[in-house]
Amino acid sequence: MKVFIIYAHPSEDSFTRHVRERFIEGLEAAGHSYLISDLYKMGFRTDMTESEYLREANYDDDAPLPDDVIAEQNKINASNAIVFIYPVFWTEAPAKLVGWFDRVWTYGFAYGDESIGMKQLDKGLVICVAGRSLYHLTHYGHLDAMKTVMLGDRLCDRVKYKDFIVLDGMSKYAMIAREANWDRNLDIAYEAGFTLEYLGQSMRITKKQLLWNGVNLALKIIDKEPNKIVVVNSDTPIICDGQSALDFTLYIGYDHNCQRIVVNKAAISEDFFRLSTGVAGEVGQKLVNYGVRLAIVGDFSGYTSKPLHDYIYECNKGNHLYFTSDENEAVKMIGR
């Protein structure tokens, strides 16, 4: 996924800065790319000019937009997900971010009668750092107020799935609590980045390393009712023929009670993609015999063999072997 982060904190000497860094680490570990608008660092102007105001107030989408606003809108449309990271200031985002919405969410782009310029993004996530405890924010209605504004109004149906995370108890007024909450909150930030693509899909995800025949594999185990899916990433081929496919899929099936496996293309021997070797046929037969579903994620466009592309096309219509360039798509295909 391509993720657009809008970050708003006036100081690098802050916990929120660490949240930004850990979130990005999580994103990168999950293989996503990102763009960031660091609003204070960019000196993003957040006050509307009179002409900007008149454009919005008169619903005049013929009036030109300033270049810095167009640049932000282009970043949105170049992304699949949008993420806001900021500290809570007076039960709101810092004025810097509020002003960003005033100026960037323009008529004809974020709202309007006819063709809206903003594409609907897959995921929208708000991560805010609060001085108060979650108990306090909930008890006094502050959390609901913030969610209503950010999710209900600003993100609304501009994103398909959205969530609001509060990293609480971080006030410098209560340093002991701040220190006690530090690591827990950073772990949440990392997880939020790592699992962003599954937001809204009510999944539980755990990560694990597996040493398989001397090869280190990164496993992601996705618990999504009624199925479990194991996503395997390997730098080296581990499925080279029918037997190794069987050994590996049975092992995963036994260890994780799961018959749905996603692997990256590098985990499959190149012989598989030369149909004349018979490897693909052998592997496919084992999958059918043992009721296993396998999805292979990668770029297959470099192969020139028409029979291979026909084979991929036919497999994708069936129930056992799938090919796609997108891991999220593979999880969906295999989870059906």
Residues that bind ligand FMN in the complex, under the rule CB under 6 A: 9, 14-16, 87-91, 129-132, 170-171
Provide the minimum distance between the beta carbon of 151 and ligand FMN in the complex, in angstroms, as a whole number.
Answer: 18
Provide the minimum distance between the beta carbon of 186 and ligand FMN in the complex, in angstroms, as a whole number.
Answer: 12
Q: Give the residue with the Cβ less far from ligand FMN, 185 or 234.
A: 185
Q: Give the residue with the Cβ less far from ligand FMN, 171 or 227.
A: 171
The H-or-E segment that residue 85 falls in is strand 81-87
Residue 178 to residue 34: CA distance in whole angstroms = 29
Provide the minimum distance between the beta carbon of 170 and ligand FMN in the complex, in angstroms, as a whole number.
Answer: 4
Where residue 205 falls (left for φ over 0; alpha for ψ -120 to 50; beta otherwise) is beta
Q: Give the residue with the Cβ less far from ligand FMN, 86 or 109.
A: 86
Would you say how long the chain is, in residues?
336
Provide the minimum distance between the beta carbon of 128 and ligand FMN in the complex, in angstroms, as a whole number.
Answer: 8
Q: Which residue type does 210 have? A: L
Residue 311 to residue 293: CA distance in whole angstroms = 16
CB-based contacts of 122: which residues, under 8 Å, 6+ apart?
Answer: 1, 80, 81, 159, 160, 161, 197
Phi, psi of 191 (to 5 degrees): -60, -40
Q: Give the residue with the Cβ less far from ligand FMN, 91 or 227.
A: 91
Q: Give the residue with the Cβ less far from ligand FMN, 90 or 254.
A: 90
CA 172 to chain CA centroid, nearest Å: 31
Residue number closest to ligand FMN, CB atom: 131
Q: Give the residue with the Cβ less far from ligand FMN, 69 or 88.
A: 88
Q: What is the dihedral angle through the alpha carbons of 164, 167, 173, 174, rounded to the nearest 10 degrees?
A: 140
Residue pair 275/311 in contact (Cβ under 8 Å)? The answer is: yes
Residue 308 to residue 306: CA distance in whole angstroms = 5
DSSP at 129: E
CB-based contacts of 186: which residues, under 8 Å, 6+ apart?
Answer: 18, 19, 22
Provide the minimum distance between the beta carbon of 98 and ligand FMN in the complex, in angstroms, as a whole number.
Answer: 13
Provide the minimum distance between the beta carbon of 171 and ligand FMN in the complex, in angstroms, as a whole number.
Answer: 5
Q: Give the residue with the Cβ less far from ligand FMN, 88 or 196.
A: 88
Provide the minimum distance between the beta carbon of 240 and ligand FMN in the complex, in angstroms, as a whole number.
Answer: 50
